[in-house]
Structure 1
Amino acid sequence: MEKIYFYHSPIGVLVLGEEDGHLTRLTYQEEITTPHVMEKTPLLDQAERQLMEYFQGERTDFELPLIPKGTAFQKMVWQALQEIPYGATVSYGEIAKKIGNPKGARAVGMANNKNPISIIIPCHRVVGADGKLVGYGGGLEKKILLLELEVKGKK
């Protein structure tokens, strides 16, 4: 059974989930509608600490055991996302080529949209073919904030 914790981050409430010692979820929550918050596990505490360091510009990558739940194709896309360097952006088409499906930019976009471990699996680093910011599950304003944070952190 997944254990849930709500983390109040600088960009809003994030829902962290753990199952069997692996992070399974990091999603956005506009407001907490659950009547209770489960107690933090050591892994969820570690995830919160690493996220704090990330938001403070002190962490550029995460060291957490992940098990994102999805299809084989989605997992392939999410693995490719984890290879995008901190502060960099790539297009959906570039990811499609990287995973051996050069005409699959739209499918990559759909997999990106289903990413269950946002920020840590950095779907915010994916942009349109023309370099413009397009779509983000947490909203474009959060995507902009995350990219700006990373650009500042690279300096």
Structure 2
Amino acid sequence: MSAAWRAWRRREWVLGAGLAWALPGAFAADGELPVPASMADALAAALARREPLVVMASLVGCPFCRIVREHYLLPAWRDGAAIVQIDFRDPRSVRDWEGRATTQGALVKTLGVSVAPTVMFFGRGGREVAERLSGTYISDFYGAYLEQRLEQARAAVRS
């Protein structure tokens, strides 16, 4: 095993261990983003690292959601961005910003999301700190739009 491979695996393990600590019960399967047990806890963990919490509202089977998740958000998550996913129709329990039990689907409605995928950026107090990315844009530009919103959200969190 080469030194570069060992370093990469160590980095992946450290990132995974850090996320496991930050988002209890939210391990991501291959090709999936972590699912939060608590939005407030996920936000607190992100803010402790001086990062915004990026939340993707997705829909099972949505091909556009898969593209955004696999080509844009998973690489950013692997690079250390605080990203979680909630689903329009998922009945699994999640605690909202105030710690109340709800479902992922109900949380999506509470957030006023009507288009899949929608990517949101949260800062202190559960307040959105950058414009949402709703739906998909021309694929050549989606990465630029995402990076612009992420930088805006980071600046808001770090100010």
Quick check: which one's helix share is greater?
Answer: 2
TM-score bracket relative to the smaller structure: under 0.3
Q: TM-score under structure 2 normalisation? A: 0.26
